[in-house]
Structure 1
Amino acid sequence: MPPILVCFVEDSDLDFELGRMAIQLENPLTRILRAKSCQDGLKLMEDNDPQLMILDLNLPGCDGFRILKHIAQAIPDRLRRIVVFTTSSNPQDRTRALELGVSDFQTKSADPEEYLQTVRRMMSSSLS
């Protein structure tokens, strides 16, 4: 697999590290950028052209839907590169995100091994 760019918008250090590990296992040449807030996530997506963005909905000061709405207005072609990866199991959040145009919505597992497998599957399916 060739080198790719993945942007992670995640405030949890543990969740980011697990995600980073899973991404590197899938493709060691992946360049990974991280934002911990909505404002930084918006800037990251505007300033870069990632092949994949993994977005948590529960961020400090706002929810990830703010990012999705902004991208839908400013750079809508990038919505298909976004996977929402969150602790929310609310079906309304899932429906809302998919209606905005994201490629997938995944709920985080508390089990580290399952978490790693989910991220690896997201990488595989999003970049194939």
Structure 2
Amino acid sequence: MTNTIRFCALGLAITLLGACAQYDNRRGVLDNWEAVEAASFARGETTRQQVLTALGPPSQVVALGDETALYYLYEQSKGNGLVLVVYNRFKLDTQYDRAIFFFGPDDKLSDYATHLATGDTP
């Protein structure tokens, strides 16, 4: 009888030690991408100050000889997991929204590119 009680206690302990986990992480400087989509940036006309006013401070400023680049990055990670005594599983999906703006020596926009993540993680 004591073996049955020990077996049941062990089964209960293993059951209680198992857990589920969820992970949600957001970081970066640009979490309002509507500002990028709504702003009308024109090559050769838009100034660096206009971009800074529309989007705020960048994640990084890169010096490229006579040109400079403002780089904006926003990262979002979501995941879930199963934590057991002998087996653990964790699935993580990370997506990045990015925008980069190049300016010539006159502080006018020479080129830019954006990439927005597809949306909800699976």
Same fold (TM over 0.5): no
More strand by share: 2
More helix by share: 1
Give the structure-1-normalised TM-score. 0.20
- Between structure 1 and structure 2, the one with the greater Rg is 2
